[in-house]
Amino acid sequence: MNLRSDFPLFQAQPDLVYLDSASSCQVPEVVVTAMADYLRYHHANVHRGNYQLSQAATAMYEAARERVAVFFNSSAAQVVFTKGTTDSLNLLAAGLAERVQAGDNVVVSLAEHHANFLPWQQLCAAKGAELRVIPLATDGTFANLPIDQRTRVVAVTHASNVLGVVNELTDITAAAQAVGAYVVVDAAQTAAHLTLEPTALGIDALAFSGHKVYGPTGIGALWLSPRAVAELPLYQVGGGIVRTVSATHSDYVQGVQRFEPGTPNLVGIAGLVAALDFLAAARAQGSHAYLRDLTQQLLSMLKDFPQLRLLPHGDGTIPVVSVTSDDPDVHRNDLAMLLDQQQIAARSGHHCAQPLVQHYTTQGCLRFSLGVYNQATDIQRLQQGLSKAFALLG
Ligand code: PMP
């Protein structure tokens, strides 16, 4: 598989080894073109104009919702456009606030990105509710499910952005459904690598970001179950979501559009649609198996470095691997800097997942994550880069 040439960045920088796709994927030319075409030839506000250009923009916006619905194997009536996963999760925490009272609990896991931890922590603090954290087993999966009659929301990541371990959702949804709790799934790390079937999963909400599926930043999509669409209160208010407004009463639209006040990010939406098409074509060419194989190569290469300790990891379905070092003379930031000097981009830190990372290491970790543009030569370059870095560190 060779999709590297589809990406302008690698045409401009052929020697760049980009290993940070779990943060943001690089963007293929087709996405850049779709966004530029929208701005050049189709730009107008939606819903407001009687003229053709505005009507075409509105049609594009609703067609994009249909496209995202196909991605979710669901209906457009369940799809909300947001700024991204963080925005979606904040919308959900705000919307579910009235269901959480003192003495209730909200369940998250130790594997959460801060985006799916902090909104619930804030909510629980404000309500006098308990934030329960699912502990992790040694393989990085959920050790148990502290769900009970007082659980109102279970908000979990589909896969950790540090470990790449995929979490089975079946037991969670069964336990949550038994007590009527809402189930929220953070699919930021799985959207590019798994087929998402939120309806079949029996969950209430699922969020992902455009920039993690080869699209632009500032756009994401949130899938909501029919009960969530019907029950969640308004998040933000403004133009485009009202039928009539007077000093005493306003009549809001029904359905997912009521979560989208203001002018939508139409450039981002044009890019997201092109990105989902790109992703579908890559999948049809075998990108899943390709990336799983490449991640296995990465894992076995890293295991040959005795200076590194691998954090728990998955089977490569999510192409993310993190390492740390227990040697106080080897700091992950030094390693990342020495790799960067060799044009190898890898991420060092706590990856916005401090509870998880601190569970495994006080040092933070170095994360390598892959995209469809990576090749076996990138793994070799990383091997050489790490060897050189360790030689320099003595
Ligand atoms: N959840 C997970 C698992 C993530 O990896 C990320 C991005 N690193 C987010 C949430 C937040 O996504 P965004 O920054 O696009 O809102």
Q: What is the mean pLDDT of residues 118-123?
A: 98
How close is the Cα of 158 to the center of ligand 1, in Å? 11
The alpha carbon of residue 292 and the mean position of all alpha carbons in its chain are separated, in whole angstroms, by 19
pLDDT surpasses 80 at 180: yes
Q: Tell me, what's the pLDDT at 327?
A: 86
Ligand 1: centre distance to CA 189 (Å):
7
Q: Is the ipTM of this complex over 0.90?
A: yes
Instruction: Indicate the pLDDT class of residue 362, thresholds 50, 70 and 90.
Output: confident
Residue 214 pLDDT level (bands cut at 50, 70, 90): very high
DSSP states of 228-292 as a string? HHHHPPPSS--TTSEEEE-SS-EEEPPSGGGG--SS--HHHHHHHHHHHHHHHHHHHTTHHHHHH
Between the alpha carbon of residue 380 and those of residues 168, 344, 369, 377, 389, the distances in Å are: 33, 11, 15, 5, 14
The tokens for 273 are 């649609």
> For 212-231, what is the mean pLDDT?
98
> Helix crossing, 376-393 with 287-303: angle to 10°?
20
Q: What is the reported pLDDT for 361?
A: 87
- pLDDT of res. 105: 98
Q: At what angle do helices 266-284 and 287-303 cross, to 10 degrees?
A: 80
Among protein residues, the one whose CA lies closest to atom 12 of ligand 1: 85
CA dihedral in degrees (360, 363, 364, 367; nearest 10)?
A: -90
**CB distance 370 to 21 below 8 Å:** yes
In this structure, what token pair is assigned to residue 39? 């701005």
Domain regions of the chain by residue span: 4-19+286-393, 30-281
CATH code for the part of the protein at 30-281: 3.40.640.10
Residue 47 pLDDT exceeds 90: no
Under DSSP, the state recorded for 40 is I
User: How far, in Å, are 230, 290, 361 from residue 332 at the CA level?
Assistant: 47, 28, 11
Q: Give the binding-site residues of ligand 1, using a 6 Å CB cut-off.
A: 23, 84-86, 113, 115-116, 157, 161, 186, 188-189, 209, 352
- Residue 260 has a pLDDT of 97
Q: Is the pLDDT of residue 49 over 80?
A: no
Ligand 1, atom 5: closest residue by C-alpha: 161
**Can you give the pLDDT at residue 300?**
97
Task: Report the range of poorest mean pLDDT among 18-27, 59-68, 341-350, 354-363.
Answer: 354-363
CB-neighbour burial class of residue 219 (10 A; exposed 0-12, middle 13-18, buried 19+): buried
Domain 4-19+286-393 belongs to what topology?
Answer: Aspartate Aminotransferase, domain 1 (3.90.1150)
What pLDDT is attached to residue 122? 98
How high does pLDDT run on average in the chain?
Answer: 96
- The candidate with the shortest Cα–Cα distance to 120, out of 148, 141, 91, 140, is 91
The predicted model gives 149-163 an average pLDDT of 98
| CA–CA dist 116, 129 (Å, integer) | 16
Share of the chain above pLDDT 70, in %: 100
Quick one: pLDDT band at residue 150, thresholds 50, 70, 90?
very high
Give the span between the Cα atoms of 163 and 321, in whole angstroms. Answer: 6
- pTM over 0.95? The answer is yes
Output DSSP code: residue 311: P
- pLDDT at position 315 is 94
Token match 């700091």: residue?
A: 331
